[in-house]
Structure 1
Amino acid sequence: MSTPSPTPSHPDAGSSPAAGHTLARSLGHGQMAMIAMGSALGTGLFLGSGEAIGYAGPAVIVSFAVGSLIAATIALAMGEMASRHPVRGGFGTLAARYLSPFWGYLSRWLYWIVTVAVTGAELVACAAYLAYWFPAVPIWAGILLFAAVIVGINLATVGSFGVIEFALSSIKVVAVLVFILIGLFLVLFGMPGESAPGLSLLTSDGGFAPNGWGAVWIALSVVMFSFGGIELLSITAAEAKDPARSIRTAARTTIVRLAFFYVLCIGIVVSLVPWQEAAGTGEDVATSPFVMVFDRIGIPGAASITNLLVLVAALSAANANLYAGSRMLHSLASDGLAPRLFARTTRRHVPYVGIVASSVGLLAAAILAFSGVGGVFGYMMSLVVFAVLLVWFLILATFVAYRRRGVEGATFRVPGGVVTAVVGMIGLLTVLSTVFVRESMQIAAAVGVPAVLLATLLYFAVVRRRLDTAAIEEAFDEAESMR
């Protein structure tokens, strides 16, 4: 692909870097890693894991291990590209250069939809957790309450946002580490007066894979929701103080932490609780496998402790996804792929219009809750998985094109290069193929496929004429000066 001409393609071209449209570089590498952790370490682990256990039994450990490897290919590919090009819009802007402007447009809009859906779904969960203590508070009121909290956090400076998200994510990380330590002690030594279960429960009830190995594959469609959020490694690059160092550290540590937490936590759960008991599709915190483990320890108020943990987890994930959605919308507007209004920022370089627009998921969640529609969280999970799988596939395709151009990372390189990316793409297609056997994925596809077709039609009918190639190149120039 030849370098685009710097000539603006429409009258407003080139205005994106002007005052009132730029972002601030205020995030440290620790904050960047924790923001990605905050988005990924959410209700997918604490509540959604029960559904995955129901499909695969103890072999869900394999599902999480495979999911970790797939997620690792994506995180590393994004990390290498972002260390070379810490541009606004992250992987979407990279796709515009190395694949085509259309794929850059589609990946960014798809991901914006993902962030909107996740933000709304996580606040539904927050409101449900609040109702556990205060049943008189309606779900819709809880959604609006927490919506006001995260919108306020996001409207502050990006530095303040980073500090708060770091704190929320740290609470989750400490809680998970405590769970792992207690769980390992129970597995190895047992409770006073009881023998240690060891690994006996992994094979005692129908075997390690009681529903067959095909169920391990189906469980992947649930498991991959847990890793959604690693994309923030790429998006936060545009607001990093030291992009090269921060991205290198964040990319390497985030996926290791996530894999360690998820695989070990799930292994502990199915080692301490019979898998049929741990399995569950409900959204009630009392059915969480983590509550069951705490109950076995005999800790008073186990459900309340876990309720606080999952509330913090969901609030942190919603907060991080609102951040991601607003930055994605800002990059789209800066490149002429969305109304220019969305590129506006405050004097503190916060994209306030993008934040307000990305809050549409919060309002939709409150309306659905008020109307009494049930099962919203489960269907939103499936829609998010379907859309994010497409986004991840485009990220790896961008990496392949990037490497084929002879470009390499500034601070680190993906082991195996293109081969690793292709393996990740095959893994994603394998997960996406569960659409043929899992009903909720079929419903997600019934919504997602028409949405992709509509976005494609809009691009070629309207948006393509507004594309600002000069703004895209200016984003790369600005990123190059910071590298």
Structure 2
Amino acid sequence: MTMIVLGSALGTGLFLGSGGAIAIAGPAVILSYAIGSILAAIIGGATGEMAVHTPVRGGFGSIAAKYLGPFAGFLTRWAYWTCTMIITGIELVAVGSYLKFWWPQLPLWVGIVIFGVVIILLNVRSVKYFGTMEFFLSSIKVIALTAFILVGLCMVFFGLPGHTATGVSNLTNDGGFMPHGFSSVWLSLAVVMFSFGGIEMISISAAEAKDPARSVRTSAKAMMWRLATFYVLAMFVVVSVIPWSQAAQLEGTVETSPFVMVFSELGIPAIATITNLVVLVAALSAANANLYAGTRLMHSLASDKMAPSSLAQVTAHGIPARAMWVSTLGVILAIVLAVFKPGSAFGTMMTLTMVSALTVWVLILLAYMAFKRVEGNSSAFRVWGGRGTAAVGILLLFAIWAALFAAQGNSTPATVGIVYFLILTMVYFAVIRKVQTPDDDAFAEARAASSQVAE
């Protein structure tokens, strides 16, 4: 469970999107990721506490419906499907961008089309042992990032054969540690928090765990510490080894990754090639996993009459093919943007994802506050500070909402995202309002099963 969550969070947002965050905040991006880690810990912890108490199928979507009402459950589940749908396209944009490391003249849309077809072919076939496969794919990313951090720290403090230690002077060169002021840290959070998408997977996985109380408690704690360590140390290495202004040049072009650039600039092409291959495979696996997840989420929405019922149909092999084709809308969006606006494709889709992710996270914390008011401290795993901590998290999320609109070039896609959710709201009250809250019996059974396993 820990590796699935880490694999979801450690991905393109860090490997590729960090270039945009560095362009905004400079070396102070380290502080941005530290703040982001704290907020991620609050969201992950709140999700974990509710999941331990009620490991119900449907995860935080069902929990939001239980404690905030059916509209909140509807909006949460649609927002989460939207995240997976767009992220599928973003990961393919990343794959196309990484290919430019070897073939600079290759059009971005070509890589998206080729690998889009690949993941669609993978998803039209039955997927077995998904958890085991994701464990190994996530392990590759975690091991690769750990190796990057260790090698990078050696570059900074000890040097490597043929290369003297870089030291930490790059942290204060080119305008100092915070060249654009503290406001840049706030603005960069709109990019940084994209890197933490996937922390809510704890809730989705809880219903499948043999011992939810122990599994979620252990996974949540491990996720919090490891994410904070990985992100902060990785950013420290990047802005220490290469001047931040040089790493920031990737923002807007996304032709490679800051992580690849670290090794390329030091004249270690073999390691740079390997690193690029690793992040490419990581992005491809994430695209495949998100298409798989989006397909099942849409199938679930259709089964619960929150989407057209025809999307609940499955093939003779049990594959929800219609739901899958709808979930490829993110791939189509990526291709269109890559053809007409290749330079801004990644940033535009990231903003659209952030609108959906922020909606999900705010609803999770609001549901947590309602959960605490009703259930008190009855969960075997509890977040320090309870409702007060959740309130701080909500304030931070609203501050990131503001940063999302304030960041240059983000206002149009952010507005599109807001209009999208307004349309969903109108559809709900016009068509889907009769959908009931999750069955209380299902919640009672989930709690009883959790208590029995704990005993």
Q: What is the TM-score of this pair, normalised by structure 1?
A: 0.85
**Worse-matched range after superposition: 116-125 or 409-418:** 409-418
1:453 lines up with 2:422 in the alignment: yes
| Aligned residue number for residue 238 of structure 2 | 269
CA displacement, residues 130-172 of structure 1 (integer Å, 9 cap, x when unaligned): 4544678765453344334434555666652222222221111
1:49 to 11, 18, 21: 18
Q: Is the 8 A contact 2:404 2:414 kept in 1?
A: yes
CA displacement, residues 379-408 of structure 1 (integer Å, 9 cap, x when unaligned): 001111122112101100000000000244
**Worse-matched range after superposition: 288-297 or 111-120:** 288-297
1:190 to 159, 163, 185: 159
Q: Is the 8 A contact 2:88 2:286 kept in 1?
A: yes
| Aligned residue number for residue 62 of structure 1 | 31
Partners of 1:151 and 1:101 lie apart in 2 by 32
Q: Cα distance, 1:253 vs. partner?
A: 1.5
Alignment of 1:17-96 (within 5 A): 32-96=1-65
CA displacement, residues 299-329 of structure 1 (integer Å, 9 cap, x when unaligned): 2334422321221221132233223323432
1:232 lines up with 2:178 in the alignment: no
Q: Cα distance, 1:276 vs. partner?
A: 1.1
Q: Is the 8 A contact 1:382 1:440 kept in 2?
A: no
| Aligned residue number for residue 85 of structure 2 | 116
**Worse-matched range after superposition: 231-240 or 256-265:** 231-240
Q: Cα distance, 1:194 vs. partner?
A: 5.6
CA displacement, residues 214-273 of structure 1 (integer Å, 9 cap, x when unaligned): 111111111011111212222233333443333222222223222111110000111111
Q: Is the 8 A contact 2:61 2:76 kept in 1?
A: yes
Partners of 1:103 and 1:380 lie apart in 2 by 24
2:187 to 195, 212, 218: 218
Partners of 1:408 and 1:317 lie apart in 2 by 36
1:387 to 356, 373, 377: 356
State the AA in 1 paired with 2:443. F
State the AA in 2 paired with 1:453. L
Q: Cα distance, 1:274 vs. partner?
A: 1.2
Pairs aligned (count): 449
Give the 3 Å change call, closer, same or farther, for CA 203–123 of structure 1 in structure 2. same
State the AA in 2 paired with 1:480. R
Partners of 1:205 and 1:136 lie apart in 2 by 31
Q: Is the 8 A contact 1:153 1:161 kept in 2?
A: no
| Aligned residue number for residue 473 of structure 1 | 440
State the AA in 2 paired with 1:473. D
1:424 lines up with 2:393 in the alignment: yes
- What is the SS of the residue equivalent to 1:204? coil
| Aligned residue number for residue 134 of structure 2 | 165
| Aligned residue number for residue 369 of structure 2 | 400
Give the 3 Å change call, closer, same or farther, for CA 145–296 of structure 1 in structure 2. closer
| Aligned residue number for residue 453 of structure 2 | none
Q: Is the 8 A contact 1:285 1:307 kept in 2?
A: no
Partners of 1:481 and 1:62 lie apart in 2 by 43
**Worse-matched range after superposition: 73-82 or 249-258:** 249-258
2:301 to 332, 354, 369: 332
Partners of 2:13 and 2:35 lie apart in 1 by 16
State the AA in 1 paired with 2:158. F
CA displacement, residues 67-102 of structure 1 (integer Å, 9 cap, x when unaligned): 110111000000111112222321111111101111
**Worse-matched range after superposition: 318-327 or 222-231:** 318-327
State the AA in 1 paired with 2:282. A
Q: Is the 8 A contact 1:123 1:362 kept in 2?
A: yes
Give the 3 Å change call, closer, same or farther, for CA 110–317 of structure 1 in structure 2. same
1:203 to 166, 169, 172: 172
Partners of 1:129 and 1:459 lie apart in 2 by 40
- What is the SS of the residue equivalent to 1:239? coil
State the AA in 1 paired with 2:259. F
1:462 to 431, 434, 451: 431
1:321 to 273, 290, 299: 290
Partners of 1:229 and 1:383 lie apart in 2 by 16
Partners of 1:155 and 1:254 lie apart in 2 by 32
Give the 3 Å change call, closer, same or farther, for CA 342–295 of structure 1 in structure 2. same
Partners of 1:159 and 1:242 lie apart in 2 by 22
State the AA in 2 paired with 1:217. W
Partners of 1:228 and 1:135 lie apart in 2 by 29
Partners of 1:131 and 1:195 lie apart in 2 by 29
Partners of 1:345 and 1:245 lie apart in 2 by 35
Q: Cα distance, 1:464 vs. partner?
A: 0.5
Alignment of 1:229-268 (within 5 A): 229-268=198-237
Give the 3 Å change call, closer, same or farther, for CA 213–81 of structure 1 in structure 2. same
| Aligned residue number for residue 112 of structure 2 | 143
Q: Is the 8 A contact 1:52 1:222 kept in 2?
A: yes
**Worse-matched range after superposition: 194-203 or 380-389:** 194-203
Q: Is the 8 A contact 1:81 1:408 kept in 2?
A: no
Q: Cα distance, 1:341 vs. partner?
A: 4.0
State the AA in 2 paired with 1:338. A
Give the 3 Å change call, closer, same or farther, for CA 151–207 of structure 1 in structure 2. same
Give the 3 Å change call, closer, same or farther, for CA 153–257 of structure 1 in structure 2. farther
Partners of 2:252 and 2:275 lie apart in 1 by 15
Q: Cα distance, 1:55 vs. partner?
A: 1.1
Give the RMSD, CA atoms, in angstroms. Answer: 2.6
1:107 to 70, 76, 79: 76
Give the 3 Å change call, closer, same or farther, for CA 39–258 of structure 1 in structure 2. same
Alignment of 1:278-297 (within 5 A): 278-280=247-249, 281-286=251-256, 288-297=257-266
**Percentage of identical aligned residues:** 53
Partners of 1:482 and 1:326 lie apart in 2 by 28
**Worse-matched range after superposition: 217-226 or 81-90:** 81-90
- What is the SS of the residue equivalent to 2:269? coil
Unaligned runs of 5+ in 2: 451-455
- What is the SS of the residue equivalent to 1:462? helix
Q: Cα distance, 1:334 vs. partner?
A: 3.7
Partners of 1:188 and 1:229 lie apart in 2 by 33
